[in-house]
Structure 1
Amino acid sequence: MSDYYDLFLAVDLRPDVPEPVLQELRWLLGQAEMPPVLQSADWESHGVPWRVFDGGEASHSFDGVDTCVLVRAVNKPNPDGSVPWALTVRTCIHEDEFGVMMEVVEWLLRQATTEGWVGFLRDSAHSHSLIAATSTVA
């Protein structure tokens, strides 16, 4: 029997996320066409790229729904008046996809302004652990 992981992320991203990164993130969320160049993971070593954060249906291994939302956080602008991006993802990952998912998460968190804990990961066979990120913006 295979293990599955339930990944939950809630993170704010820099207001000035570069357009190629934003385009790729939207594709990963299932909200845009695939960009010509993918930077989020070493896709060649993992096979065909797929939309790792795509949601909108019941999770096949955990209670609830796999979902993803990316919006501008207009209700909480930065002190300089810029508006960050707010991202929430909940998705189920097969153990064979875990490596690529963690590459994508690491790529994404380079754009994060959230300090401290940004989510959790739970295994279908064990207890859960936490994922942390610190701000990459000075």
Structure 2
Amino acid sequence: MSERYEVVVTCFLREDTPSHVLEALRWHLGASAARPGGLEEEAHPYPFLEPDPGSPLPGGDYGVLRGEDHHAWGLFSRTCRHEDDLGQLNALLGLLEPYVAEPGYGGHVRAATADPSQPGAAPSLLTFADGAYVLAPAA
């Protein structure tokens, strides 16, 4: 049986985030039907952050990109993804990392059906720092 994962991505984006990155995020969130020009289909085959109305996650999937008072843009997404889809997460994070406004916590990936009392059930944490990201098992 294949595994499904809860994928959470959250960050503030700087004011100078290029319009093509914002367009790509809107497409990934399902807010725009047309694939933005210049977005490689091989790296971004479908909208990765688009909420699934039939999600098995408690409370369902959710995703939003909105203007903020503190920074120019705020991104939050929580989706349930098949293990085969997780390779696309790297392409998405590569798109975001140069424009993240604040270093630190950027989300997590965890097995959606994991029993939290079992060894290895801890999520992998996503952090942003110095224009890069790290996705590593929680300590």
Which residue is 2:53 aligned to? 57
Cα displacement (A) at 1:25: 1.1
Note if 1:130 corresponds to 2:125: yes
**Contact 1:5/1:123, CA 8 A, preserved across alignment:** yes
Report the secondary structure of 2:61's partner residue. strand
The answer to which structure, 1 or 2, has the higher relative contact order (CA under 8 A, 6+ apart) is 1
For 1:15 and 1:135, the matched residues in 2 are separated by: 17
Aligned with 1:106 (options 86, 89, 94)? 94
Check whether the contact 1:69–1:88 (CA below 8 A) recurs between aligned residues.
yes
Unaligned runs of 5+ in 2: 115-120, 132-139
Q: What are the superposed Cα offsets for residues 68-113 of structure 1, whole Å, 9 maximum, x if unpaired?
A: 1111112x2xxxxxx4200100011111111112221232222211
Task: Provide the C-alpha distance between the structure 2 equivalents of 1:106 and 1:131, rounded to a whole number of angstroms.
Answer: 13
Unaligned runs of 5+ residues in structure 1 are: 77-82
Letter matched to residue 127 of structure 2: A
- After TM superposition, the score normalised by the length of structure 2 is 0.78
Would you identify which runs of 4 or more consecutive aligned residues in structure 1 move more than 4 Å? none
* Count of matched residue positions in the alignment of Structure 1 and Structure 2: 123
Q: Percent identity, please.
A: 32
Structure 2 CA distance for aligned equivalents of residues 36 and 73 of structure 1: 26
Task: Calculate the TM-score normalised by the size of structure 1.
Answer: 0.79
Question: 1:7 Cα shift?
Answer: 0.9
Query: Once superposed, what is the RMSD of the aligned Cα atoms?
Result: 1.9
